[in-house]
Each structure stands twice: as C-alpha cells, then as structure tokens.
A and B are shown apart, each in its own frame.
Chain A
Amino acid sequence: MANPVYVVDGARTPFLKARGEPGPFAAADLAVAAARPVLARLPFAPSEIDEVIVGCVIPAADEANIARIIALRLGCGKHVPAYTVQRNCASGLQALASAAERIALGQAHLVLAGGTEAMSRAPIQWNHAMSGWLAQMMRAKSLSGRAQALVRFKLSYLQPVYALLLGLTDPLVKLNMGQTAEILAQRFGISREEQDAYALQSHQRLAAAFDDGSLAGEVEPLYDTRGNVALEDNGLRRDSDMQQLAKLKPVFDRKYGVVTSGNSSQVTDGAAMLMLASEEAVKRHNLPVMGELKGHAWAGVDPSQMGLGPVHAVARLLAARKIQMNDLKHLELNEAFAAQVLACQAAWASGDYARDELGLDAPLGSMDPARLNPQGGAIACGHPVGASGARIVLHMLHALRRAGGGMGVATLCIGGGQGGAMLVEAAA
C-alpha cells in the first residue's frame, strides 16, 4: 500500500503578462519568490527537505537544471538534491507527480515541488546557417581564410529563431497550439461567441476571486528591485466585455479562424511551488495539512488535437479510482484555449466519443459548469507553461478547503498530444 502524500503549504507569484520584451524576472527568480514565504512559515529548515523538483519548459541558457539553482538560492544547502522535469504544459504537474511518487514509495518525506516559467525571456537564437558560418570564421586562421569566410556571409543568416514560437508549435504535425484549438472548434462545432463568452466568464470569475480575497492565501506579492510590487495577475481584464472580445482578429488561422488572443490563454511569467510531505514528516514537524494527492494519470492523444488530452487522462484516472465525474466537487481544467475547454466538455458528454475514443459504454458526462474553473483560469490569469500544473493543484486545494473539503481533479492538455490529471482531496 502506497504511503499517503500530503500538501502542507504552497504559494504562487502573480502571473505577469509578457509584453514583447524580457520581463523583470528570470524563471529561477519567480520560483524563489514563490517558495521563500512558504519555507519561512514552515517549521523545519530548508536543509531538511529531501528533494526539490521543478517543472520548467524553457529555462534560460544560464539556468541548466533550474531546480538545483532554485534549491540552492532558497538556502536548502549543498546536500539537497534537485532535478528539473519537462512535460511541456504539464511540467508543473509532472513535478508534483514525481514528488508524490517518491513520497508514496517511502523514498522521501519532504519534497518541494512546483513549476516556473519566464516565457517573456524565451531566447531568440541564431539559426543553424549562422552557427555554421560563425564556426568557419573561428576556424579560419589566416587573413585570407577570414576574408573568404566573410565573403560567404548571407543576410539570411541574420534571420532569428524564436524559441517560444517553436516551442508552441508541434514539431511533428507542424501545427501551432492555436491551430490545434481551431481543429477542436471545428470538430465539436464551438462558435466564436461561445468561446468569447467562456473567456469573459474566466475574467469575471478571477476578478471576483481577487476581490473577495479568496486568492490572498495563495498569491504572494512579487517584488522587483525597483520598488514595484505586483499583487495581482496583470493580464486580468476587469473591463472586458463581449463587444471588445468580438473585435479581436483570429491570431493563428488569420483568415477564417475563431481562436483569438482574447479566448486563448496568455503568454506569461510566473511560478507556483508546493511543499509535499509524508505522514511521518507531518507528524514529526506537526505540519498543517491542506490536502492529499491521491494519484494521477497520463494519456496520449492525436498531437493535432492535443487539447483533448484531459478527456482521456481524467477518464483513466476516474476509472482507476472508481469515481464518477459527478463525485467531484471541483474540476480545474487548464484553459489553454476556450475552444479546447469546451471541446473537452463536449467529448465527455458525447456517447460517440466515449465509445469510439475512450472505449466506454457510456459517457462520463460533462462537468457542471459552476464547478469547472470556478475562479477563472489561464485565459484570465495566464499560462506560464511550466507553472500552470502546480498552480491549478494549489488553487483547487484552497478552493476545496474553503468549501469544506472534498475531492477534485486538476487536469491539463499537453502540447505534443497528451493529457495529465491529478486527483486531490482537501482536508475539511
């Protein structure tokens, strides 16, 4: 029997929308900012942590094994090992899953896990032709050799490579993530209006959550070095309405598309970090228990319809645990795109989909919309890819606790055609 895995604390930074230039924080800065207050209020020293596991999709060139950098900067000391995980949009969830497995197996008692991403700092690189030319230049010893190399230079070598754009494009089916959402919109007949309405609701729900103080326990102020403090996700549009959303042009399939920047998740910087503990650690340090991680599941789907990943992952997770969709008090489905969230709902409701794709006799049923992302999601707050998986688990634990405890699932679609889902149960 596996050991129980508890979440004892956690925090996230406000998510900062990328404004087309490198933001003030590196990915490691963000994770440190999120985890520091958590470590400050927990009763054990950072050096007592067994392992640090961090999800991050595009760490900077000077952030190799970013988890180790974060661990050392947090004062865990040289003896605490750390590693970085990458499962695209679910990297943060993967970090929690890996940490949970270590604890379940009794191999660790305290694991700091989460995710971080500074998408605004994704590098812009030289292309291969340029690298080759630079190498020739370096090799040329003589003046004439250099001159020859110089002559071979072409202007096209200066064409930069945007790592972020490549990262958001499926390398095999050559579709960008927005285009995979367009496919789902077409397949499940989801209109532009339905998507915009969903997006608007996401903003309204997140604004309400900030206003009623229910995010105070999970979002830590983020201080830069110039005297500025971020308290809220700055991509949140309190003034948005259907007219404004309707005016936006499609960004991925420009001519006929329905997916706009308004009904997609935002490119942002942010981090979320959680402290996971075994039963023994909880007892030893008398830790406050927020809830329990009760298992997770991964599933693969067609890369060109990667947004359906959650449909399969959740089905697999619920089946393994013999739980019905309706038993869940809360579902956090990461809002990569409004079309993708609505497509998942449609797929769960569909008998054909259940039979043809999931091999089930009856559909799971869609989630009650009131219980689906009730405080908004990535469309309003942003989707720092490495961090989102950790954010939705952390947020759901807080929300469930406020509601008096209960079960919930956090799930994400994953670029490359996967889905991940994690079952949590919050303490009352």
Chain B
Amino acid sequence: MKHLRQEHRDDIAILTLDAAGQSANVLSTEMLDELEQTLTTLAGQSLKGLVIRSGKSSGFVAGADVREFITITDPARATELARHGQQVFGRIAALPFPTVAVIHGYCLGGGLELALSCRYRIARDDASTRLGLPEVRLGINPGFGGTVRLPPLIGHLAALDMMLSGRALAAKQAKRVGLVDDAVPERHLERAAYAILRSDPGRRRPAWYRRLPGWMPLRPTVVKLLTRKVREKANAHHYPAPYRILELWQQDAGFEQEARSLGELLVSRTSHNLVHVFLLGESLKKRGKEGTHDIKRVHVVGAGVMGADIAMWAAHRGFEVSLQDRTPEILGRAMKRAHEFFQKQYRRDARAVQAAMDRLLPDVRGDGLKRADLVIEAIIEKAEPKQALFRDIEAKVPARALLATNTSSIPLETLSTALKDPTRLVGLHFFNPVAKMQLVEIVRGEQSSETALARARAFTTAIDRLPLDVKSSPGFLVNRILMPYLLEAVRLYEEGVPGPAIDQAARDFGMPMGPIELADTVGLDICLSVAQELAGPLGVEVPGVLRRTVDTGKLGRKSGEGFYRYDTKGHAQIPKTDATTSVPVTERLVLRLLNEAMACLREGVVQDADAVDAGMVYGTGFAPFLGGPMRYAESLGETGITHSLSRLAEEYGKRFKPDGGWSQPGLLQRRNSPG
C-alpha cells in the first residue's frame, strides 16, 4: 500500500491515511482503491473496531482531488467517480464492527464524507481543526454520500446550512451540532477513540425537533424559505449548486441521484470556472511560498484606514507589529478598531484577543523602526511626504529591512529616489477592507530587487493573502482595470440612466456590488483622485458629474451622501426604479473593463491572462463563476469582442476603440493553465 498504513492493537485495527509524496491527504482514485482493498480484507476479520486517522500533521483529509475535476468533461465519468467514492465509503458504513474517524486539522469535502461513513467521529479540539463540506464553493454538491448521511446525523437545518454555505466548523462547534461525538485535546484523542469503540453507544441521532424539518410534508415549505435566503447570496443562473442541494434534499434523494447531480454540475461551466479561480489562488500561494521572508517584526507608518487595517491584520496573523502615526489619538482609534476586530475574530477567547493586542504596539515615536524587518508605508498619497518619510525610515531601520509602500498611484521609481538603496523598495498594495480582500499587488519597480520581491510575496502568503506580481505602472492592475468601468458607470449616470438600473445590470452580470454603489463605498473623492491620476497616462476622461458631486461635499457612504443617500448605519437608501433603457448598460460597462484588462495584458502589467483573472476575482470580486475577465473574454472570442467594441466606438466614442491586444494571437493563452 502506498497511501495507507494498517496496524492492529489487540482486536482493534488502525488505518492511517498517508498519501505518498504529499503534505496533505487528498482522496485520489489511487487512495480510494487502496482503501477499498483494505476494507474488503478487514470486513472478514473478527475485530472489535476500526480507527481511521491521518498520518499528516496538516490534517485528516482535505477533500477530493480538485485537480482531477477539471480534466473531466463527460458527466457520465464524473458520476462514475462519485459512485466509486460512495461505494468505498459504503463499505466502511457496512462493516460489522464499530468504526471511528479520529480527526485533526482539515477534514473537508470528501474527507468529511469519509468520516461521516464511520459510526463515530472524535475531533481534536484546537484552533486548526476544521470540518466542512465546501463543495458548493466549487459549484458542485457533495458527491460521496454527504447529502445523504449528514442530515440524519446532525439534523436537517444544520446540515443544509453546512452544505449551502460551505462553512467549516471548529471542533467545539462540531461537537455542539453533533457532527462529532466528542472534541478532546490532543492528549486524550487516542483514549477517546478506543473508549467509544469499546462502549459502542450507537450512531448519534439528533433531537426530535432537529429531525422535524425533515418530515416529508414539511420539506417543500422549508425549501421555499431557504431558497429565499440562498437567492440573496447567489443568482440561480450563475450558481446552480445550492439550488441543486435543496432539490436533492427535498426529494430525499439517495446516493444515485447525488452522484448524477454531481456529474452534471462538475462538468458545468460554473464549476470549471470556480475550480479555475480556486486553483489560481492556490498557484499565487504557491508562488509566495517559493521565497522566504524572514520577517518577524513589521512597522506600519500611517494609521488611517488602510495602515491600521494592515497592522491589525498582520498582528492577527502572528507578526509583531508597531503602528506609527503623528498623534496618540489617531493610534487610539486604530487600537479600538483592532480590538473590535480581534474580539469578533476570536469570539470569546479573551486570551487570544489579549495576545493579538500585545503584538500590536501603538508607536508615536517610531521605536519599532529600529528592529523592523519590514516597514510598510501607508501615509497620504503625495510623493514628497512619502519620499521624506522613506529617507527617515532608511536612516533608522536595520540594513536588511524590506521597505514597502501601499501607494496606489505613485510610481515606485519616484519614491525610491529618496533611498540610498532603492533595490529594497517594493509595493505592497492592499485592498480595502484588508480583512476581506484576499489580494495584495506586489508592485515591482524598475529598481526593485528579486530578493525584495520574493520576500514581499512570501510575507503576503504568510499573512494569508494572495500575492500578485504587477509592474509599477499607473493604477497597477486592479485599479486600472476597474477605473474605466467605474467611469463608464458614472457616465451612464450622467446620461440619465438611473443609478439603481446601472447597479442592477452589473449585479445581474455577476458583480458583487454595482459600480455606482461601489464608487460611493470607496469614496467619491478617492475615485476622483485615482481617476485624475490615471487620466493622463491612460487617456481616460473624467466625467464632470464626479467632480461636481465631490465639490458639493458629497463623498459617498462616509459623508452620508454620494450618488445615493445613506442612513446613519451606512445602508444605502436606493430608490426603486423600473425604468427600462435602450442603452446597452451591461455591454458598455463590461467591455470597457475587458478592453482595459486586455491593454494591461498586452503591456505586460502582469505576466499572463491567469494573473489578470486572479487579480480581478480576488481583488474586486469580479464574477467568479465566469472565471475572471480573460476567461470570460476567451469564451466570447476575440473577434466577437473586437466587433462589439468597434460598434460601441462608433456610437459612443473612441474610448471603446478595441485594444491592439485583441488582434495579437496568443495573448489569451495561459502559460501555467491548471487545465
């Protein structure tokens, strides 16, 4: 056996899953085969029980092999794959003696379905243990029996919540809902497993009121209620999987239907694109891990929203952070914000909150500079103050400290002139809010050294963000692509198309938030200054209404009014509209975005089409089910896009002029396409 180890202790068999040559267990076809073979032998032995555990420190089983997914284009083959998994797990469920899964770390997807097929589950109670069925996030339903086995174990609503949200539970939560029979610290893990095998109290059943929603006559009503909730989160046309999960449940579908549904979903465009997006993220992480950062102490200058959030996030991720600004009052506000964040993050764990606060030093004088390994500048967006600051920083920090700027618009080459050693300066461009937006643009100035860039990438990965290499050019990647789209929306607004209609069109396309609301949220003053910054180099025109609105002091959500009005809690008061318009709103918005994305690709702002996709999906939430703008462009075809752009250019002006890149062959090709 390559991926399994088997041993016996008295009359109990222990199966240790240990995928050869990998740091985590994934349920490859090979591993499933070995498992099946082993189970066949075990079934005939007279045993008192079976323990299934993982030999990996990272966790139990991280799930099925996602990389196998995208190679599959035939629904019948996908269904067959699911049947195979179901069959193996069915053997576990049918064993004549009690079985227990001993779970630590990740226990996700197929991994949890394996555990569900055991009679019992014992989880290690610590911060790393996570149990969940995240399939829905990849556009599919659980396919190894999860939809069948989970509801009767933990109750119907809890099971649906897990499957529809894809949310993973910590050990204690899992114990509370009954997903595991016990959650114990490492020191008791083994004893707890043997104890439950020996006492064999029978598979857990939820309380009657948790079983009640599963009563067949009630199911249609439950589904109706849940559908309403799902619709708020996911458009059925874009994301069919959650609706399919509800359907399977409503019909009390068995294993066969589950497998067929999986087959259909797995080969769908949505699923392939979601997997593409997932793998893009994984490859960014991998790139980050290629280098070492050797960073322990981070000093952040500027405690505005961005600086404070970067500092707070780095402290959350275990770094020693000092945060500097001009007055203690500004730092006081940042500390309050950080404390609120940590409290939310660590729930009731007061010690974890305290430890995170202890890692975050409010530092008016800049004491932290003396031993900083990384300095991140996040002060006002003006070149001179930034240069002066970097001059001062360089004089104080250790010789091997990495210097970074969070600027979104000032060329690194300009800032680096202040430095004696300009090679150590890179851009670390975070997105707001830092705790939600996974992307960080790693900005390569002409002068940035490879070592500095590798350290920046590794640090970004260490704080659980995704590092994306971009060239130091105006707007870098994300803001540059986003700006024409936002300005087109403002232009539509200026032409008289109602804001809500514009936003609705964008959301129907698959954007997480409409551009008008997005502009208000970012702040119209910030939009204006970025637009002006980019206007020159990119030849974009700033619509007059944007300037006029800013001039009247309407800055968006933060000032209570921008294009929309906001109540005191910051909720938009969006007027209802059912005005129909003959203007091709979606087309104008999306094509400007695609056209700019192509320009970036052609100019080499990023390495390849994958990088554009990763940047836009992880940096702006661009419709993940489309796989990113370039993936989407590919599906439309270069000719079609060029044609549409030319048509729009005739009607609306030269800003729609097709970028030269559309006619260059090979630009859309992916260098390291996971497929």
Contact = CB atoms under 8 A, between A and B. Distances in A.
B368 A40 contact: yes
Interface of B: 320, 322, 328-329, 331-333, 335-336, 339, 354-355, 357-359, 361-365, 367-368, 370-371
B362 A227 contact: no
Given A221-B362, A223-B331, A41 B367 contact: yes
A351 B328 CA distance: 52
Contacts of A223: 328, 331-332, 335, 362
A32 B358 contact: yes
A369 interface: no
B468 to A, nearest CB: 32
Contact of A40 (B333, B335, B339, B361): B361
A75 B363 contact: no
Contacts of B361: 36-37, 40
Contacts of B355: 73
Contacts of B339: 225-226
Nearest to A227: B336
A144 interface: no
A225 B343 CA distance: 11
Which residue among A40, A41, A43, A226 has the maximum number of chain B CB atoms within 10 Å of its CB? A40
16 contacts: A32-B358, A36-B358, A40-B361, A40-B370, A40-B371, A41-B370, A43-B370, A73-B354, A221-B331, A221-B364, A223-B331, A223-B332, A225-B335, A227-B333, A229-B329, A231-B328
B309 to A, nearest CB: 16
Nearest to A217: B365
B332 A227 contact: yes
A228 interface: yes
Given A73-B358, A226-B336, A221 B371 contact: no
Contacts of A40: 322, 361, 363, 367-368, 370-371
8 residue pairs, one from A and one from B, having the closest CB atoms = A227-B336, A41-B367, A225-B339, A229-B332, A221-B328, A229-B328, A40-B367, A223-B335
A227 to B, nearest CB: 4
A225 B322 CA distance: 16
Nearest to A75: B320
Interface in A183-222: 221
Contact of A225 (B328, B336, B368): B336
A219 to B, nearest CB: 11
B332 A228 contact: yes
B131 to A, nearest CB: 31
Contacts of A229: 328-329, 331-332
A290 to B, nearest CB: 16
Nearest to B320: A75
A154 B328 CA distance: 52
Contacts of B333: 227
Contacts of A74: 358
Interface string A31-63: 010001100111101000000000000000000
A121 to B, nearest CB: 16
Contacts of B365: 37
Nearest to B330: A229
Nearest to A221: B328
Contacts of A32: 358
Interface in A7-53: 32, 36-37, 40-43, 45
A94 to B, nearest CB: 26
A43 B322 CA distance: 15
B234 to A, nearest CB: 37
Given A36-B361, A75-B359, 12 more contacts: A36-B358, A41-B367, A41-B370, A43-B371, A73-B358, A223-B331, A223-B332, A223-B335, A223-B362, A229-B329, A229-B331, A231-B328
Contacts of B359: 75
Contacts of A226: 336, 339
A226 to B, nearest CB: 6
A380 B376 CA distance: 41
B566 to A, nearest CB: 23
Nearest to B354: A73
A32 B322 CA distance: 14
A231 B328 CA distance: 8
Nearest to B297: A40
Interface string A54-87: 0000000000000000000111000000000000
B520 to A, nearest CB: 26
Interface in A73-113: 73-75
Interface in A220-251: 221, 223-229, 231
Contacts of B358: 32, 36, 73-75
B398 to A, nearest CB: 9
A73 B336 CA distance: 19
